[in-house]
Amino acid sequence: MEAMKVWMMAMATLVAVCATAERETLRFNEGWSFARFGAMPDGTEKAEPQGVEKAAFDDSAWRMLNVPHDWGIEGPFRAELPNQTGKLPWAGIGWYRKTFDVPASDSGKKVFIDFDGAMSDSTVWLNGEYVGEWPYGYSSFRLELTPFLKPGQENTLAVRLDNKPESSRWYPGGGIYRNVRLVKTAKTHVAHWGVFVSTPVVSSDCATVQVRAEIDGAYDKVVHEIVETGKTGQGTTCRLSIDFPRRWDLDSPNLYTLKTTVFSGGEAVDEVETPFGIRTLSYSADGFFLNGKKVRMNGVCQHHDLGPLGAAVNTRALERQIEILQEMGCNAIRTAHNPPSPELLDLCDRMGMLVQVEAFDCWGKGKASNDYSRHFPEWHEKDLRAMIKRDRNHPCVVMWSTGNEIREQGNKAGHAISQRLTDIAHDEDPTRLVTAGCNNIKAGFNGFQKTVDLFGYNYKPHLYGEFRQKNPKQPFYGSETASTVSSRGEYFFPVSDEKHLGQGGHFQVSSFDLTAPPWANNPDVEFAAQDEYPWVFGEFVWTGFDYVGEPTPYNKDKTNLLNFSDPAERKRMEEELEKLGGNIPPRSSYFGIVDLCGFKKDRFYIYQARWRPELPMAHILPHWNWPERIGEGTPVHVYTSGDEAELFLNGKSLGKKVKGEYTYRLRWDDVVYQPGELKVVAYKNGKRWAENMTKTTGEAAKIELSADRKVIAADGQDLSFITVQVSDEDGRLVPRTHNLVTFSIEGPGEIIAVGNGDPTSHESFQALEHKVFNGLALVVVRSMTGDPGTIVVSAKSKELIAGRIELEAK
Ligand code: GAL
């Protein structure tokens, strides 16, 4: 049935997403057959057969599926797999095959295949003939199929991917995890990523739009038109003007479209549309300026995975991430540490987010034995050019990063590489400046800083002053900051200010936001540096969302698990580690301000308080369900955009606290726990500003379901994210609950992922049951193509009243 459904969708595969002049762009996502070899998900090995690339190869027993597809996220989690890459079976060999027809009338055309990303080391054959390859799993690439194509007949495309173990420091995913398109053009056509639009002169009266177009084949003329104004110009380079331009800005992300038409033999043979925005960027020692106005980058670093959905790209999942980040006041994303999906940049253009697009996590010297350093010598230029050519028309992109914490920061040979990468970036795009994320203290002083335009330190707030003294003119920012770690809804006592203690065992991390690994800081420390040095043009917090893999402090180095001052506790942990054979469970990060499912941790509110100072808000932590702590000291912290606040326990004032200079949280360290109601009233400039309340709840009584969107498109791609909450009778979230919940669905939708944000859980992300973690779980529902109707999701758990929600696919 499943195979049948996929197959029927495959019939509809070659649906044009766009057809103009002779160009056709066809979705190529549906109806692939797929099989794995080498390292298998269950830990066994399976020999890779010979001749899989041949058209005649029998793949009838293979699984049928649609891409974007991530084979790793399917699981299962395995205890013996590395924590660092998520304990998921993403390593191994994967083959995808797809047969398709091309009409005889296409002979004489050029036919290409575009991959937005395939993880990794891909090799492509058509009808048994080698077409090409592209090793870097994060790059977009185009291969030409024309010489091997049989118009009027059936064609077979075969793609082999090979994910080597030890090739990543985080969960990379595996498979054709981004979109694929078949592109047909006339012999004469606009080259791949061949249109470059920039806006060199912008004023409120007029903007100059500079166009450069590369054309493949012989042409008579090239005409450009700004669709919104009807203004036209001619040539492979030309300048057009727009009167009274509507600028692209954070709160008014206006876009224009340039239509480029190529004429050959007297006819229009090709046409492409390029969205662009009109805005100015400038950087100085004083900061970053967007359209002439100083803007502090309140940024986050984001890895590419989408939590329980894995690496498989989904536009709505990305959009939801951006919505949550914007609610916090975040205005910038760093695509750590690789080129993003094109969809992310389209969304950032549309939603008004600044983006730093980053190329690499390593250059020639690797960080893992099979990582990109293997390919860097031969491929760095192709990958860097591909990234910049693809992304240089996006107004959201405000800088390029050539690398993160690359190991060559310390020596002259490395500086030469850095200079070369910067030069390549300037060559492809003279309109944007180049940076790199530096962790080597010396990089700000040893000449490395001169090889980039914008200098960023990772985790060095104590060096900002010295950097400025020695580099008075260079624009500067925190390229990676904080790296605070916490588990949503976990609190350990006593509350410790020692940043790398504080973990309470059981592989969770306390959510008082005081814990960070040795190189890192809590948010407050970075805020203080940004306030002390207002010329710092911003920060990129590690990270906005939790991601799969790198579960520091339980990552590769397990010695910190024994950081107990109490010898009895230490002994207990030693015994536990012994029992686990060293295979400790954590599999996803604790760094996120938001957890893996998109649920806010407490930290969200310390950033919101700072980044949206005009929003009246106050947030209390921890929750107030501590029956075992009656009469014990139980500290309370408050994050607020106010400047002082008064705390009340069961109506009795526990005193007012005032934010001093360089303090960003209010603390009542001596609160003695009594159940009941904890309330805070915040003030700003002496006036009542915001309130927040938390209350000891009743017993868990029911499951409540709520959706981020109840109406979704019936297009087989749109998603509804359903929050599953364990509530007491009054509908209050009951903290510390871990009930197992089972789900069912009726109507034209499917449950494609479940999760709960617990970094230690090995429950499948692709099941119809999941435990809640501290009261919450997530169910992700996807619509079906062309199948509208009512979708009903139900959730049941022993001893709780079941929950139910209706969605509408339209
Ligand atoms: C940085 C690194 C990131 C991540 C982070 C965790 O040094 O650039 O990729 O590993 O540490 O704190």
Tens-place pLDDT, residues 425-484: 999 999 999 999 999 999 999 999 999 999 999 999 999 999 999 999 999 999 999 999
Q: Which atom of ligand 1 is closest in space to residue 519's alpha carbon?
A: 12
Calculate the CA dihedral of residues 543, 544, 549, 551 and round it to 10 degrees: 60
- Using a 6 Å cutoff on CB, does residue 406 contact ligand 1? no
Does ligand 1 lie within 6 Å of residue 440's CB atom? no
Residue 467 CA to its chain's centroid (Å): 30
Over residues 141-145, the mean pLDDT reads 98
How far apart are the two ends of the chain, measured CA to CA in Å?
Answer: 24
Closest CA to 638 of 554, 694, 685, 708: 694
Pocket probe mutation, ligand 1, options 362, 483, 541, max atoms within 8 Å of Cβ:
483
Q: Report the range of poorest mean pLDDT among 96-105, 371-380, 506-515, 734-743.
A: 506-515
Whether the CB of 30 sits within 6 Å of ligand 1: no
In the structure, what pLDDT confidence band is assigned to residue 582 with cuts at 50, 70 and 90?
confident
Strands 92-101 and 154-163: antiparallel
Q: Ligand 1 center to residue 613 CA distance, Å?
A: 28
Ligand 1 center to residue 16 CA distance, Å? 42
pLDDT, tens only, 316-342: 999 999 999 999 999 999 999 999 999
**The pLDDT of residue 506:** 76
Is residue 458 lining ligand 1, measured as CB closer than 6 Å? Answer: yes
Q: In angstroms, rounded to a whole number, what is the distance separating the alpha carbons of residues 396 and 172? A: 25
Q: pLDDT tens for residues 714-772?
A: 999 999 999 999 999 999 999 999 999 999 999 999 999 999 999 999 999 999 999 99
| DSSP strand pairing (476-482 vs 454-458) | parallel
Is the CB of residue 405 below 6 angstroms from any atom belonging to ligand 1? yes
Return d(Cα 805, Cα 216) in angstroms, integer: 54
pLDDT mean over 65-69? 98
For ligand 1, what atom is nearest to the CA of residue 483? 12
Position 94 scores a pLDDT of: 98
**Is the confidence at residue 15, as pLDDT, over 70?**
no
CB 625 within 8 A of CB 696: yes
CA of 757 to the centre of ligand 1 (A): 20
**For 57-81, what is the mean pLDDT?**
98
Residues designated as active site: 405, 480
> Among 170, 302, 480, 526, which is best to mutate for testing ligand 1, by the most ligand atoms less than 8 A from CB?
480
| DSSP tag of 90 | -
Tens-digit pLDDT profile for residues 195-237: 999 999 999 999 999 999 999 999 999 999 999 999 999 999 9
> Is pLDDT at 22 greater than 80 in this prediction?
yes
Q: How far is the CA of 791 from the centre of ligand 1 (A)?
A: 41
Nearest CA to ligand 1 atom 3: 542
CB-CB contact of 731 with 760 (8 Å): no
* Whether the CB of 712 sits within 6 Å of ligand 1: no
- Reading the block at residue 274, the tokens are 């390029």
Domains and CATH numbers, the chain: 2-185 (2.60.120.260), 189-276 (2.60.40.10), 282-484+520-550 (3.20.20.80), 614-622+626-695 (2.60.40.10), 702-809 (2.60.40.10)
Report d(CA 324, CA 301) in Å as an integer.
Answer: 14
Residue closest via CA to ligand 1's atom 12 equals 483
Q: Quick check: CB of 480 below 6 Å from ligand 1?
A: yes
3-class SS letters over 316-336? HHHHHHHHHHHHCCCCEEEEC
Q: Cβ(546) to ligand 1 under 6 A?
A: no
Q: Hey, which residues does 125 pair with through a beta bridge?
A: 130, 158
pTM over 0.75: yes
Residue 396 CA to ligand 1 center (angstroms) comes to 24
Residue 2: band (very low, low, confident or very high) from pLDDT cuts 50, 70, 90: very low
pLDDT at 1: 38
User: What pLDDT shows up at residue 429?
Assistant: 98
Residues 6+ apart with CB under 8 A from 404: 336, 337, 358, 360, 361, 436, 437, 458, 479, 480
Q: Of all protein residues, whose CA lies closest to atom 11 belonging to ligand 1?
A: 483
Whole-angstrom distance, CA of residue 23 vs CA of residue 16: 10
- Helices 376-391 and 342-351, packing angle to 10 deg: 30
Write down the residue that tokens 């540096």 correspond to.
529
- The CA distance from 301 to 477, in Å, is 13
pLDDT of residue 4: 43
Inter-residue contact 31 to 98 (CB < 8 Å) = yes
Best CA proximity match to 406, nearest among 458, 468, 347, 482: 458
Q: Which is the closest atom of ligand 1 to the Cα of 405?
A: 8
What is d(CA 202, CA 248) in angstroms, rounded to the nearest whole number?
11
**Beta carbon of 500 within 6 Å of any ligand 1 atom:** no
- Once rounded to an integer, what is the mean pLDDT over residues 335-356? 98
The CA 480 to ligand 1 mean position distance, Å, reads: 8
Average pLDDT over residues 790-808: 98
Q: Which of 307, 297, 308, 302 is nearest to 322 (CA)?
A: 302
What pLDDT shows up at residue 203?
A: 95
| Atom number, ligand 1, closest to the C-alpha of residue 404 | 8
How confident is residue 503, by pLDDT bands cut at 50, 70 and 90? low
pLDDT tier for residue 671 given thresholds of 50, 70 and 90: very high
Q: Which amino acid is at 553?
A: P
The candidate with the shortest Cα–Cα distance to 273, out of 13, 21, 16, is: 21
Q: What is the dihedral of CA 512, 514, 517, 518, to 10 degrees?
A: -160
Percent of the chain with pLDDT over 90: 92
Nearest to 536 by CA among 250, 291, 298, 353: 298
- Identify the pLDDT of residue 71: 98
With a 6 A CB cut-off, is 439 part of the ligand 1 pocket? yes
Distance from the alpha carbon of residue 299 to the mean position of ligand 1, in angstroms = 15
Ligand 1 centroid, distance to 404 Cα (angstroms): 9
| 3-class secondary structure per residue, 230-274 | CCEEECCEEEEEEECCCCECCCCECCEEEEEEEEECCEEEEEEEE
Centre of ligand 1 to C-alpha 21, Å, is 47
Residue 19 has what pLDDT? 59
Mean pLDDT value across residues 613-634: 98
Q: At what angle do helices 376-391 and 412-428 cross, to 10 degrees?
A: 30
Residue 372 CA to residue 362 CA, distance in Å, equals: 7
Compute the mean pLDDT over every residue in the chain, rounded to the nearest whole number: 95
- Res. 509: pLDDT tops 70: yes
Higher-confidence residue: 87 or 3?
87
Residue 178 near residue 313 (C-beta atoms within 8 A): yes
Ligand 1 contact, 483 CB (< 6 A): yes
- How much helix, strand and coil, in percent to the nearest 5, is found in the chain? 20, 35, 45
